Amino acid sequence: MKLNQLDGLMAFWKVAEHRGFTAASAELEVSPSALSQAIRQLEARLGVRLLNRTTRSVSLTEAGEDYLARIGPALGQVIVAGEELNVLQGGPTGTLRINAARISTSMVLQPLLAGFLREHPNVKLELTNDEGFVDIVERGFDAGIRMGEDLHKDMVALPLGGPITVAIVASPDYLARFPAPSHPDDLMQHNCIRFRFAGTGAIHKWEFKVNEEIVEYEVKGNLTIRDTLFSTEAALEGVGIAYTFEQLALPHIKAKRLTRVLAPFSPTFPGFSLYYPSRHDQPSKLKAFIEYARRAVI
């Protein structure tokens, strides 16, 4: 085996795992073109095509499926052996990639970052904020953070921070101009700050607890945002009524910059979770973060 053949094996393994070059190149920290060249060289040496490539997708040929079944477990053991050696020599290393919405970053991830990085100085943490739900495996992330109710069934979830309660708020200036709503039905007469999901383009329906049931309301307003944290800022400016979380709103409520409305109808939802693929060969950097998060939330 030539020395550079291992590069081709690793390139093929990761492209096959992610079913694409973009996520695989991100994980291996090389360009998609470099990955493609390594795989072409591997195919030339083997004398067989391993991947079907189109402009939009990548799939395995029959030969590729058979080859992956043979080399995948062996390469996984190679990676695990290297990571275990790194742990013995001084702890986890590498880049840990986490995907989270800005609101989950602010509420549960940010308090963990400094302590984790101090405890594991050889790990580099790369944080990407996406407001819509993403496939972390396809995109090349090690883990993600989202609301517990939004997770895919094939993911392992570690709850962070416990249940969260909704807070509906507006500025005193806004409520001086418009009477405070006493029931969610009254919101039809108000300017509500709406949120549009990045992935689907749908407008978020506000959920309230009415007669012990969760009822969805389609609200109206002249401001629609795609940043989950900006609704509070807009409410502070007197734009309208915001649908946010108690944890974020309380400091402004205590300082009398915001007034809470519809509190009897505010629901409580499962909190945020750290989620990651169910694998036996988890990288040591991810294992370290999971362990740290468990200790931090107890």
Q: What is the pLDDT of residues 161-208, one digit of tens each?
A: 889 999 999 999 999 999 999 999 999 999 999 999 877 889 999 999
Give CA–CA dist 35/239, Å, rounded.
49
Q: What pLDDT is recorded for position 189?
A: 95
Q: Which residue has the higher pLDDT, 151 or 59?
A: 59
Give CA–CA dist 238/249, Å, rounded.
14
Q: What pLDDT is recorded for position 3?
A: 40
Q: What pLDDT is recorded for position 258?
A: 98
Of the listed ranges 5-9, 206-210, 259-263, the least confidently predicted one is 5-9
DSSP state string for 105-128: IIIIIHHHHHHHHHH-TTEEEEEE
Cross-strand partners of 32:
none
State which amino acid sits at residue 63.
Answer: A
Give CA–CA dist 146/24, Å, rounded.
23
Q: Which residue has the higher pLDDT, 225 or 137?
A: 225
Report residue 2's pLDDT band, with 50, 70 and 90 as the boundaries.
very low
How far is C-alpha 173 from the chain's CA centre?
Answer: 35
Report residue 5's pLDDT band, with 50, 70 and 90 as the boundaries.
low
pLDDT tops 80 at residue 212:
yes
Q: What pLDDT is recorded for position 55?
A: 66
Total Cβ atoms within 10 A of residue 37: 15
Give CA–CA dist 133/273, Å, rounded.
13
Q: What is the pLDDT of residues 86-124, one digit of tens each?
A: 555 557 888 898 999 888 898 999 999 999 999 999 899
Please state the rounded mean pLDDT for residues 59-86.
76
The residue assigned the tokens 């190679």 is 78
Share of the chain above pLDDT 90, in %: 42
Task: Please report, to the nearest 10 degrees, the dihedral formed by the alpha carbons of residues 156, 95, 115, 100 taken in order.
Answer: -50
- Token pair of 274 as six digits: 């750290």
Report residue 4's pLDDT band, with 50, 70 and 90 as the boundaries.
low
Question: Alpha helix locations (H) across 47-161?
Answer: 62-90, 102-104, 110-119, 136-139
pLDDT tops 60 at residue 150:
no
Q: What are phi and psi of 55, to 5 degrees?
A: -70, -20
* Contact criterion met (CB below 8 Å) for 95 and 143: no
State which amino acid sits at residue 13.
Answer: W
Question: Residue 28, SS3?
Answer: helix
* Contact criterion met (CB below 8 Å) for 193 and 231: yes
Cβ neighbours of residue 216 closer than 8 Å, sequence gap 6 or more = 205, 206, 207
pLDDT tops 70 at residue 151:
no
Total Cβ atoms within 10 A of residue 216: 11
Cross-strand partners of 145:
100, 274
Cβ neighbours of residue 229 closer than 8 Å, sequence gap 6 or more = 102, 103, 106, 248
Whether this prediction's pTM lies above 0.85 is answered by no
Q: What are phi and psi of 211, to 5 degrees?
A: 55, 45
Task: Please report, to the nearest 10 degrees, the dihedral formed by the alpha carbons of residues 151, 156, 160, 162 taken in order.
Answer: 70
pLDDT tops 90 at residue 69:
no
How far does the chain reach from its first CA to its final CA, in angstroms?
50
Q: What pLDDT is recorded for position 245?
A: 95
* Contact criterion met (CB below 8 Å) for 103 and 242: no
pLDDT tops 90 at residue 259:
yes
Give the β-pairing of 193-195 and 223-225. Answer: parallel
